[in-house]
Structure formats: C-alpha cells, structure tokens
Structure 1
Amino acid sequence: MKALVWHGKDDVRIDNVADPELKDSTDVIVRITATAICGSDLHLLDGYQPTLVPGDVLGHEPMGIVEEVGSGVKNLKKGDRVVVPFIIACGECFFCQKGLFAACERSNPNGEMMEKAVGHRAAGAFGFSHMLGGFWGGQAEYMRVPYADVGPQKVESDLADEKVLFLSDIFPTGWMAAENAGIEPGDTVAIWGAGPVGQMTIQSAWMMGAGRVIVIDRVPERLALAASAGRAETINFDEEHVKERLDEMTGGRGPDRCIDAVGTEAHSHGSIDAVLDKAKKTLKLGTDRAHVLRESILCCRTGGTVSIPGVYVGMIDKFPFGAAMNKGLTIKTGQTHVQRYTQLLLDKIESGEIDPSFIITHRAKLDDAPELYKTFRDKKDGCIKVVLTP
C-alpha cells in the first residue's frame, strides 16, 4: 500500500509499504477514506520527537471503512464506517475504567521506555514515536486498529467525512482543553494559538458558556478565522504586547482561563526567553520553546486556570513556578482521552450545533502529503488544515 513514511528530520515521503495484517483477535483493518495533517505531525517533521525510526508511517487523524475484523471484535463488522481516535486504549485497565484513556496501562507495548523517560507508562498512539508504541499511522491506504471495540467511533449517518473526521483528534482535544480550563458561565477565556486545535478550543469554550474569548496569534488568516468563524477578539503578538493588552481588556485582572494551544514550537516577538530557547535548540541543548506556557501563567488572573493541550517533549527551564504558586493557579494538561468524548461530540455534529469542516483550507491526495507538510509548517498559501484522501 501507499503510505506517508518518516525518513528523518525534514524528510517524509510516499512509499510503498507492506499492507497491515490482523495480529490480535481484537484488531480490525480499516481502509482509509480521509486523513488529516495535524500540528503534532510537524513536531515529528521537525525532529522534536525522540524514538521515531526511519520507515515509520505517520498520521493520527484517520477515518474509513472496516475491511477485516478479528475474531474477538464484537462491536464492528466489515463495511462499518468509523473514525479512529489517535489514542489506543484497552478499555479494561485501571485508567480506562476511570475514563482516562490516554493513560491506558496496556495499549503501549513500549511502556517501559516511557517509564524511563517520564516516570510512568501511558497509552499507545498512532503515527507517533516508538515511546508511544511505534504503531503505524493513518496517512496511508490502510491501517491496523488494535482494541477495535474500544477506539473506533461508528458513524451511521450520511454525514460527509469532512464533518466527522476531526473526532479523531482536534475536536476532542479542543473540547478537553476547554473542559480542563474549568470554564464557568461568563468567563473570559484567552487562547494562545489559532491553529486547528485553537480553533476547536474557541468553539468548545463558547459551547461551555464562556462570556468572552480572546485569541493570540500572528498569522493573519488564522486570526481572521478566529474572528469570523470563532467570534473571538484577537491579539496579534507581532503588533501588541500580549500581557499589557490582556490587562487592558480585563480591567487589570487578567483572563479567568488561559489555554496554551501552541506547545513546544512557540514563537514570540523578540522576548528574551524565546531567544534563549531558540539558541538552546540550535545548539541541541534543549527541545521545547515554551514562551507561550510562561506567558499564559503570567497573564492568567490570580486563582485562575491554565490548560495545556499543546504538546511538549522534554525539560523546560525559566519556568515561572513562583508566579503559578503565589497566584494560586490550577494547571491541567495531558494527551486527550479521545474515547471519552467522541459520542458526545458526534451528537453535537449530527444535531447541527457545530460543523468542524469550517477549518479545512486544503484538500489533496495522499501523494501530495510531503509537499503539504511543509506548506502547513511554513504557514504558506493560507494553510490552516489539510485533509488527504488516499
């Protein structure tokens, strides 16, 4: 089959690779009908994620048609149309029983590798590194899906793929980011990053009762989409000092809830911490550029909440923990417990409360993926979200 394969930093290609096969009785094979490029994929392209191996198939936002079914699968049959969450979860362990699917104890065969890196194991994931299991992803013609009774969300309506595809990752991620922020009716919510996750977080914040949503970015088309589709107020950090502007907008108090939807590759307008982060990255002395995380902590009102859906990789220095402690901030983060939210959010799509396809700017064939990875990363051609069809 054709698949998008990682060969090293800045080097992804469409290769012919072996078709996936059923390995366990709880597996299914899905023929991919639509798949997307995610901001997290760019961290892989840029070489930030350790334990990726040349030959790995990328992609963690897929959907398609079930083609083969393992003997132990009870909830799916050949021909079912499904969206596949990027998190792989067994459904039975201590964490899955609590709905903490991203912490699954059983789905990551390389859990010991993760324990050594971060202290404990967590769930496997499609299209990421071998620390997360080394599972081939969905930027391909077919994919193997383990624990198929737990992960895939069946879509039985005639909704177009584009309307439901983002149940695989960015819609649940935006929803959990807003949920983790603890939004109360009337709250002012500040969101750093108007990329795909940021756009879904905007929509989720409104649905949870936010009174005001403010978005910080510098890419004109992203800010425009946040203002039009998201009805958000916007701050261009190239043109305004973010904390000063947020204080002006909130009477000096700061936003009630701050959400970092940027993660490890943050930019800033010449701040000293960002300059130092960039230098450390260049010298291979560090990985994460954490300007947004620091800024969101400093901007958040006393007693507020900082939610972090943005992906981070390693150690962060110059962290304003004194500010977080003395201001009494609550900080919540984590990979998304996708399976907890897919039915809830599918219901919202089917009822017409939201159509996530508003975010798509580029549609292409799988063969075009290598070029579009770089278009997306370099923010060219107004690219906000890419959907591929094999």
Structure 2
Amino acid sequence: MKALVWHGKEDIRCDSVSDPRIEQPRDAIVRVTSCAICGSDLHLFHNFIPAMLPGDIMGHEMMGEVVEVGAGVDGRLKKGERIVIPFTIICGDCDQCRRGNYSVCETTNRKKHLADKVFGHSTAGLFGYTHLTGGYPGGQAEYVRVPFADATHIKVPDSLSDEQVLFLGDIFPTGWQAAVQCDIQPTDTIAIWGCGPVGQMAIRSAVLLGAKQVVAVDHLPERLSMAEAGGAITINFDDDSVIERLNELTGGKGPEKCIDAIGMESHVTLST
C-alpha cells in the first residue's frame, strides 16, 4: 500500500509499505477513505517531538471502512461498517477508561516505559505520533490497523458523508473540550485567541454551548471571515486594540472566559 512515511526532519515521503495485518484478537483493519493533516503533524515534520524513527507512518485523523476484524472484537464491530478512528487508542476496560480519562488509558501505550521516563507519566497509545505513545502506524495511508478496535471507533451512519464526520477523530473534540472546560453560562462572553483550525472549532463549540457572545481574535482575513461565519464577533489585532474592543463589547468588565487556541493543538482555558 501507499503511505506517508517519516524519514527525518522535514523529510516525509509517499512510500510503498507493507499492508497491515491482524496482530491481536481485538484488532481491525480499516480501508482509509478520508484523512487529514493535523497541525500537530508539523511538530513531527520539524522534529520538535522526540522518538520518531525513519519508516514511521504519519497520521492521526482518519476514517474508513472495516475490512477485517480479529476474533476478540465479538461482534461490536463488523466488516463493511464505516467508522471514524479517534487519535487516542483506548482499551475501555482499565480504571482510567472507566473514569472517562481516555487520554491516559493504562493499557494501550505499548512503550509505556519510554513515556514514563520522558513525560513522568504515560499517555494512552496514539496513532502515528512517535514511539513515546506506542509507535503505532498512522492513518495517512491506504489501510490502517486499529488496536482495541472494539473500543477505539465511532460508527458512522450511511446518511453522513466523510466530510461531515472526519473531524470527530481529533480537531472538533479538541475545540469542544476547550469550550466545555469554560463552563459556559448564558451571560458569558467567551474570547478566543487564534482562529486556526482548533480556534474555529472552539468558536462553534462555544456558540453551540450557549455563550452570549463569542469574540475571536486574529489578524488573517481568511481566518477572521471564517470565524464570523461561525457566529463570532471578530477583532483584527493589526487594526484594533484588543483590550479596548473587548471592553467596548463587555461594558468595560472584560470577557468571563478565555480560550488560547494559538498553538497547533493547545487549548488553555482561563477565568478572568
């Protein structure tokens, strides 16, 4: 099959590689029908994150059709079903998964000892994102092996297109979590710094969660236009004082909550 393969700093190639195969009973093989390039992939491209090795397959935002399942999937996933594959690989059984803390699943990082040494505590296994998170091949490929596939999937009805659901794997939940952590109230003004992909999802999430006003701060016209289309009041920091405009919009008291969406994947919520 063809896949996007990391060969070193700023060296990613479309190579022919071996097709994935079932390795464990809870595996599934998925034919990838859509995938995306995440801003976090740029960290790997520039070699900012350690423990990538030449030959590693990129990609953690993907979806497709199940073409094979292992014996341990037990009917929870069937050949022919369409699924979105989340970035985070989860077992669904460990204490952290039962608590809903899927990003720190205690089972799926098969190279946990490396992550414990570098991070102090292991994350869950992640697709296509270094050997610190398990060294799992990613989904910027024609096919991908999904470990713990009975838990690591979101089923997609035929009535929805790939374009409507692909972002459920990573980018939309990232923006949604930032907005949820703000504990948005109907009287709140939410200010969002940065209108890149994560910021756009945070904007729409804050609107859906019922904020009184959502204010988006950036300086790129195309981003500000998209933010406005998503329901935000926009501030171009090249043209206006952000503080003055926020005071005008809030009667001088400032926004109740802020989201920092400037980093590729970072989302920090602050109370003011």
TM-score range (shorter-chain normalised) is over 0.9
In the alignment, is the contact (CA less than 8 A) between 2:190 and 2:258 conserved in 1?
Answer: yes
In the alignment, is the contact (CA less than 8 A) between 2:59 and 2:127 conserved in 1?
Answer: yes
Distance 1:147 1:189, change over 3 A: same
Q: Distance in 2 between matches of 1:195 and 1:61?
A: 17
Q: Secondary structure at the match of 1:72?
A: helix
Counterpart check, 1:81 vs 2:77 = no
Matched residue, 1:12: 12
Q: Secondary structure at the match of 2:71?
A: coil
Matched residue, 1:279: none
User: Which residues of 2 match residues 174-213 of structure 1 at below 5 A?
Assistant: 174-213=175-214
Give 5+ residue unaligned stretches, structure 1.
Answer: 266-289, 294-304, 307-328, 331-390
Q: Distance in 2 between matches of 1:36 and 1:240?
A: 34
Matched residue, 1:64: 64
Q: Secondary structure at the match of 1:194?
A: coil
Q: Distance in 1 between matches of 2:95 and 2:51?
A: 27
Q: Distance in 2 between matches of 1:119 and 1:171?
A: 28
Give 5+ residue unaligned stretches, structure 2.
Answer: none
Distance 1:116 1:248, change over 3 A: farther
Q: Distance in 1 between matches of 2:34 and 2:105?
A: 26
Q: Distance in 2 between matches of 1:43 and 1:50?
A: 10
Distance 1:256 1:29, change over 3 A: same
Counterpart check, 1:219 vs 2:220 = yes
Q: Distance in 1 between matches of 2:218 and 2:47?
A: 23
Q: Distance in 2 between matches of 1:17 and 1:223?
A: 41
The amino acid across from 1:31 in the alignment is: R
Q: Distance in 2 between matches of 1:59 and 1:243?
A: 38
Q: Distance in 2 between matches of 1:157 and 1:227?
A: 31
TM-score, structure 2 normalization: 0.94
Q: Secondary structure at the match of 1:67?
A: strand
How far 1:264 sits from its partner (Å)? 6.4
- Name the structure where helix makes up a greater proportion of residues: 1
1:202-258 per-residue CA deviation (whole Å, 9 max, x = no partner) reads: 111111110100111222111111012x12111223333434433343333221111
The amino acid across from 1:170 in the alignment is: I
Matched residue, 1:247: 247
In the alignment, is the contact (CA less than 8 A) between 2:35 and 2:140 conserved in 1?
Answer: yes
Q: Distance in 2 between matches of 1:245 and 1:71?
A: 59
User: Which residues of 2 match residues 107-256 of structure 1 at below 5 A?
Assistant: 107-228=108-229, 230-256=230-256
Q: Distance in 1 between matches of 2:188 and 2:211?
A: 5
- Name the structure where strand makes up a greater proportion of residues: 2
In the alignment, is the contact (CA less than 8 A) between 2:195 and 2:227 conserved in 1?
Answer: yes
Q: Secondary structure at the match of 2:118?
A: helix
Q: Distance in 1 between matches of 2:237 and 2:5?
A: 35
In the alignment, is the contact (CA less than 8 A) between 2:28 and 2:66 conserved in 1?
Answer: yes
How far 1:118 sits from its partner (Å)? 2.2
Q: Distance in 2 between matches of 1:107 and 1:19?
A: 22
CA root-mean-square deviation: 1.9
Q: Secondary structure at the match of 1:185?
A: coil
Q: Distance in 1 between matches of 2:203 and 2:264?
A: 20
Matched residue, 2:29: 29
The percentage of counterpart residues that share the same residue type is 56
User: Which residues of 2 match residues 213-362 of structure 1 at below 5 A?
Assistant: 213-228=214-229, 230-263=230-263, 305-306=269-270, 329=271
